[in-house]
């Protein structure tokens, strides 16, 4: 009888030695919290684990999570280049090296005689990770630089793909994809329970509860099911620090963040015939609020929360005068990258970003919104 995905996943994880967990840049609290929970769990199983996301900056509201600062933005040393020297004819007396410009010179001095080119061989070692786990990743392209700079690593290493998005392309050797749950934390919790539920401690439970809370906007979205509430209650029973999660995610906001929220919400515009909602943040908003780019994910989440019926949500912001950044969130039935295609976006089907150079936020608004109106049909 064929093994189920859960059984295959259990075998895969038990056999892994060193694991890389990754998720796309710009993704929200569910990806961050779920990755931390899974890393803590795998380490309790004796695995070596790293969490890496391209261009990652930790939002202030998630700094309370256990080991949150362990998430890094770049991967290095994926494999070693090995130079082998045959010492059968003579042993080595001295080894040294120098760097001249962009070239490395290695000097090998024999005890007697000389070395020849035939005494040297080269090879690449195995990759340092034997398992990749992608979180909230609809396709490999959405991972950004970590994928584009290391495509061979991704093609040659087993991938466990965990996601709850209906746009997921099932690119992994094993795909734990279920779009009937509101968060990836749901899937991670089920996975942990199927392997070693006794390893769940307060920190793991807190991270999972934070993922559930962030993805469901504190259990207020329409995707919340009785099973989600049951999982949340179980996590609290396992020691999840509920008050701590609620405090940091919803009750404690920097004044600068609140000011930026207010400015974005005050400029909220809509095209109800296309279920399109957008807002603008010119440079002056950042100056007067004292906010920076790190506050933008929470502003985007606030727009999504305040426009639950919108099929497409766009935020245009101008941090540097004359250069406008565009963020687009696409709901069910719409594809973010396709909608921003003329602007060379990065991202995935749900979230995409683009840069428009040489235009301020007002000029970019006209350009982007006119394009979207031409490409999003009106409701009948």
Written as tens digits, the pLDDT of the chain (380 aa) is: 567 777 888 899 999 999 999 998 877 789 999 999 999 999 999 999 999 998 888 887 888 999 888 998 877 767 666 777 778 778 888 888 888 888 888 888 888 878 788 877 776 656 689 999 999 998 898 898 899 888 998 999 999 999 988 888 999 999 999 988 989 999 999 999 999 999 999 999 999 999 999 888 778 777 788 888 999 999 999 999 999 998 887 766 667 777 877 888 888 888 888 888 898 888 888 777 777 776 677 777 777 766 667 788 888 988 888 899 898 888 777 888 889 999 988 877 778 888 999 999 899 999 999 999 999 888 76
**Do residue 236 and residue 291 come from a single domain?**
no
Q: What is the H or E stretch that residue 354 is in? A: strand 351-357
CA distance 336 to 338: 5
Q: Is residue 59 part of a domain?
A: yes
CA distance 331 to 191: 27
315, 278 Cβ separation under 8 angstroms: yes
- Of 365, 358, 345, 354, give the one whose Cα is nearest residue 278: 365
**Do residue 28 and residue 164 come from a single domain?**
yes
Q: Are strands 351-357 and 346-347 parallel, antiparallel or unpaired?
A: antiparallel
**In the prediction, which pLDDT does 127 show?**
67
Pull the structure tokens for residue 348: 């995935």
297, 26 Cβ separation under 8 angstroms: yes
**In the prediction, which pLDDT does 124 show?**
63
**Do residue 168 and residue 22 come from a single domain?**
yes
**Do residue 321 and residue 273 come from a single domain?**
yes
Name the domain boundary from 196, 226, 249.
Answer: 249
Question: Which residues 6+ apart lie within 8 Å of 310 measured at CB?
Answer: 270, 275, 276, 277, 304, 331
Residues forming beta bridges with residue 105, ordered by sequence position: 98
**Do residue 115 and residue 178 come from a single domain?**
no
**In the prediction, which pLDDT does 308 show?**
66
pTM (predicted TM-score): 0.76
**Do residue 313 and residue 367 come from a single domain?**
yes
Q: Is residue 380 part of a domain?
A: no
**In the prediction, which pLDDT does 25 show?**
81
CA distance 170 to 190: 19
**Phi/psi of residue 187, each to 5°?**
-70, -40
Domain count, the chain: 3
**Do residue 104 and residue 145 come from a single domain?**
no
For residue 176, give its domain range: 5-75+128-249
- The CATH number that applies at residue 210 is 3.90.1640.10
Phi-psi region of 224 (alpha: psi -120 to 50; beta: other; left: phi over 0): beta
């Amino acid at each position: 009888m064929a093994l189920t995905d859960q059984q295959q996943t259990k075998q895969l994880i038990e056999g892994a030695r060193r694991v890389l967990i990754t998720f796309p840049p710009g993704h929200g609290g569910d990806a961050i919290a779920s990755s931390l929970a899974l890393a803590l769990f795998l380490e309790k199983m004796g695995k070596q684990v790293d969490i890496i996301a391209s261009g990652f900056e930790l939002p202030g509201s998630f700094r309370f999570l256990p080991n949150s600062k362990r998430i890094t933005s770049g991967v290095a040393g994926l494999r070693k280049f090995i130079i082998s020297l045959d010492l059968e004819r003579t042993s080595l007396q001295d080894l040294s090296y120098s760097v001249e410009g962009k070239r490395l010179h290695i000097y090998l001095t024999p005890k007697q005689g000389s070395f020849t080119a035939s005494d040297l061989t080269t090879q690449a070692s195995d990759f340092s990770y034997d398992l990749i786990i992608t979180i909230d990743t609809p396709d490999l392209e959405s991972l950004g630089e970590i994928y584009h700079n290391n495509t061979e690593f991704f093609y040659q290493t087993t991938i466990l793909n965990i996601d709850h998005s209906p746009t997921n392309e099932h690119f992994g050797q094993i795909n734990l994809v279920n779009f009937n749950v509101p968060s990836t934390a749901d899937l991670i919790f089920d996975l942990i329970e199927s392997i070693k539920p006794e390893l769940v401690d307060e920190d793991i439970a807190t991270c999972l509860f934070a993922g559930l809370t962030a993805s469901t906007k504190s259990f207020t979205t329409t995707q919340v099911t009785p099973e989600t509430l049951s999982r949340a209650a179980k996590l609290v029973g396992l020691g999840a620090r509920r008050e701590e999660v609620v405090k940091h995610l919803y009750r404690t906001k920097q004044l600068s963040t609140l000011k930026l929220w207010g400015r974005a919400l005050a400029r909220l515009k809509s095209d109800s015939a296309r279920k399109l909602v957008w807002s603008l943040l010119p440079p002056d908003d950042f100056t007067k609020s004292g906010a920076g780019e790190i506050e933008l994910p929470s502003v985007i989440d606030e727009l999504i929360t305040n426009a639950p019926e919108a099929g497409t949500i766009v935020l245009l912001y101008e941090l540097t005068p004359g250069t406008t950044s565009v963020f687009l969130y696409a709901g069910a039935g719409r594809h973010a990258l396709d909608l921003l295609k003329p602007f060379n976006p990065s991202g995935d089907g749900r979230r995409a970003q683009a840069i428009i150079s040489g235009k301020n936020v007002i000029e970019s608004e006209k350009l982007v919104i006119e394009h979207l109106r031409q490409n999003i049909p009106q409701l009948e």
